[in-house]
Amino acid sequence: MSTLANKIAFVTGASKGIGASIAKHLAQAGATVIVNYATSKAGADKTVADITAAGGTAVAIQGDFSKPEEITRVYAEIKETYGRLDVLVNNAAVYAFGALEDVTPEEFYRQFNLNVLGLLLATKEAVALFGPDGGSVINIGSGVTRITPAQSSIYTATKGAVDAITGVLARELGARNIRVNSLNPGIVETEGTQSAGFIGSEFEKGLVAQTPLGRVGQPQDIASVAVFLASDDSGWLTGEHLIVGGGLR
C-alpha cells in the first residue's frame, strides 16, 4: 500500500516551483491532492495534468491566500467536495529582498499577509476539517531564519514568525494528534529563483561554495521530505524545523 493511500492533501501555491513538486510527490505516494493557485491557472492545470497522467488524483482550486475571504471560500469548496482533510502544506508565499532603507508598510503587509496571516488562517480552517485520527501540517519556512541574510529583513521576519508558529501550534494541537512541522529549504532552482536571477549568479556560486553537498537544491529534494512529514513514518515528529538545504546553514 502506498504511504499516503486514502489521505487527502491540500497544497497552497502549487502551480509552480516547490509547491508543484510537493503536490506531484504527494500524489505519487497515493494521496488525493488539492492544488491551490492564486493567479496561474495554467500552472495549476499542468500540475493536475501531470498527476493524473501518472495515475494519480488531483484537482485545482483558485484562491489568493493573502485574502481571508478567499481562504474561507476555498475551504468551503474543499469541505463540500471531500468533507475532510488529512494533510495541509502551507507553501504559498511571496518574497522580495530589500535594504532597511527600502522597507515600506505596503511591502511589509504584502509579505506578512500571505506568508504569516494566510498560513494561520489556512491552518485554522484545515484543523476544522481534520478527522479523529488527526493530521499533519507542513509549514514551508526557509533556511533564511538560520542564516538571516542581509537585506532580507521583511522576508526573513515572516519566516521567523512561521518557525515560531510551528512550535506554538505543535503544542496546541498535539492533543488532537495533529502534527505541525516546518520544512525550511535553502536555495532551490525554480522558475522563481531563475527569473529573480539567483540561478547562475555570483550569489548562487557563493552559496554552493558554502553548501557541504556542493550544489543548489532541486524541487524534488524538498518534495521527498514533505512526503515523509505527511506520512505516518514521521508520526513522532512535531514542532520540528527541518533545514533542507544540503547542509548550508
Residues of the shown chain interacting with other proteins in the complex, contacts defined by CB under 8 A:
170-175, 177, 179, 211-214, 217, 221-222, 224-225, 227-228, 232-240, 242-247, 249
Active site residue 155: yes
Cα 196 to Cα 15: distance, rounded to the nearest angstrom: 17
Task: Report the nearest approach of other proteins to the CB of residue 249 (Å).
Answer: 6
Task: Report the nearest approach of other proteins to the CB of residue 192 (Å).
Answer: 18
CB-nearer residue toward other proteins: 48 or 243? 243
CB-nearer residue toward other proteins: 40 or 181? 181
CB-nearer residue toward other proteins: 83 or 214? 214
Strand 57-62 relative to strand 178-185, pairing: unpaired
**Beta partners for residue 8, in sequence order:** 32
Task: Report the nearest approach of other proteins to the CB of residue 117 (Å).
Answer: 24
Q: Is the dihedral of CA 165, 216, 65, 47 positive or negative?
A: negative
Task: Report the nearest approach of other proteins to the CB of residue 178 (Å).
Answer: 9
Query: Which residue out of 37, 75, 95, 155 is catalytically annotated?
Result: 155
CB-nearer residue toward other proteins: 8 or 227? 227
| Catalytic residue set | 155
